[in-house]
Structure 1
């Protein structure tokens, strides 16, 4: 059975101010959904609610058709994995050690990694093309390499739904393109991916769907060609972009 994650009429308030107001958003395996929104629109808050890190003040989050509230955290982690923005680890863990942390929801906190755990970590690194980095200190990696290592950690959870908070932030153009290519491959392999981004061109190029968060609601949610328009960009960012600038797909 395919995994699904859905926000159903989700509402959230912060210091008496409404941040999210009746958000509906669904993620299924095979989806690559880009979430667009201006700074302060509530994108990260919505991700935290979908991950179960916080509880909504109205509506609910449903995992595989059942309310997430009250579900066991370990069970949630086996279905949904989080990929934060690339960050610097406080200690120089090896890359394979960072990736192996993704096994904790299945193997538990105690005891050494099993042979299966080690084999899965190695296979995940190979899948993302970073097996040669396995014994390198995580702190010595480039931004793009760190982001791939964090995705590998999420894949090691064997979760089929991935939530990513601005995974392209801080990456140079080459690493952005490489990462978008990897995300497309993962979606084609049956992973469901929801990522936030500030770049309509990224959303238009790689996504199966684009969702637009404005004034605490999902105003549009559909195919990129229908959603990423002059009017949408104006609503989001207050600028009008000429039509020819919206031809985001690169020539072969």
Structure 2
């Protein structure tokens, strides 16, 4: 069964801080079944853009809509049923178990005071199994490594049941094996109709699993298209100010390496 729940769209987004434009006329849309990788140097405005698309920041100009409905007209609970967020870092104030943290993703469905039902418990266990963190389920979240916490937050987003996943550097803190398994998981979710927007500092990951890539530079989207169209050596040089070249394997995989 597909999860597609409409298009999330930002149009003409403008956001200022003091005299600086953090976002400067950004247009970006995410459709069901897409994995959209957003790349940009530190300070380019990636996290700010995500927060606008989530309705957590109100831009000074432009609009954000979900399937044509302005986000500003939707309640936080209604939004949480359709959009899930995986932040870059999170510290729990209490030593909740991993299962309890994942269970917080069900709050939009049963509210903060009602006891979770069978469907909630089933969704939690399914998300834990999907991320392969069953061995962590009973452990305190505060005792986990950074990578284990990140997997827990992704499981929480899946348990939420939203059709749109917005992830701020989801591979942060994950070892190589977990990174590859997570990329495979995202591909399966997109095939099931989820729309996924993720920021990343790894062009190779975007080449490996993204269906679209957008480049954010100085508050503007300077490129938006397929990975092979957008991710060129020249684009990476302009974005990160580093010389690279592309290596291609006999199997057709590509990777960026430092030039020379």
For normalisation by structure 2, the TM-score amounts to 0.90
| 1:172 Cα deviation after fit | 2.3
Do structure 1's residue 140 and structure 2's residue 143 form an aligned pair? yes
Of stretches 55-64 and 114-123 in structure 1, the one that deviates more from structure 2 is: 114-123
Tell me what 2:43 maps to.
40
Q: Quick check: 1:86–1:150 contact (8 Å CA) kept in 2?
A: no
Q: Quick check: 2:34–2:211 contact (8 Å CA) kept in 1?
A: yes
Tell me what 1:13 maps to.
16
Of stretches 135-144 and 42-51 in structure 1, the one that deviates more from structure 2 is: 135-144
CA deviation profile, 1:22-62 (whole Å, cap 9, x unmatched): 11111111111110001110000000000000111111001
What is the number of residues matched between the two proteins? 249
Partner Cα distance (1:24, 1:131) in 2: 40
Tell me what 1:248 maps to.
255
Tell me what 1:172 maps to.
175
Unmatched tracts of structure 1, length 5 or more: none
State the 4+ residue runs in structure 1 displaced beyond 6 angstroms.
none
Do structure 1's residue 57 and structure 2's residue 64 form an aligned pair? no
Partner Cα distance (2:149, 2:186) in 1: 15
Do structure 1's residue 163 and structure 2's residue 170 form an aligned pair? no
Tell me what 1:149 maps to.
152
Aligned residue for 1:149, secondary structure, equals helix
Aligned residue for 1:99, secondary structure, equals helix
Aligned residue for 1:30, secondary structure, equals coil
Unmatched tracts of structure 2, length 5 or more: none
Specify which of 236, 240, 259 is matched with residue 237 of structure 1: 240
Tell me what 2:121 maps to.
118
Partner Cα distance (2:113, 2:80) in 1: 17
| 1:69 Cα deviation after fit | 1.3
RMSD of the alignment, in Å?
1.7
Specify which of 78, 101, 108 is matched with residue 75 of structure 1: 78
For normalisation by structure 1, the TM-score amounts to 0.93
Partner Cα distance (1:60, 1:119) in 2: 36
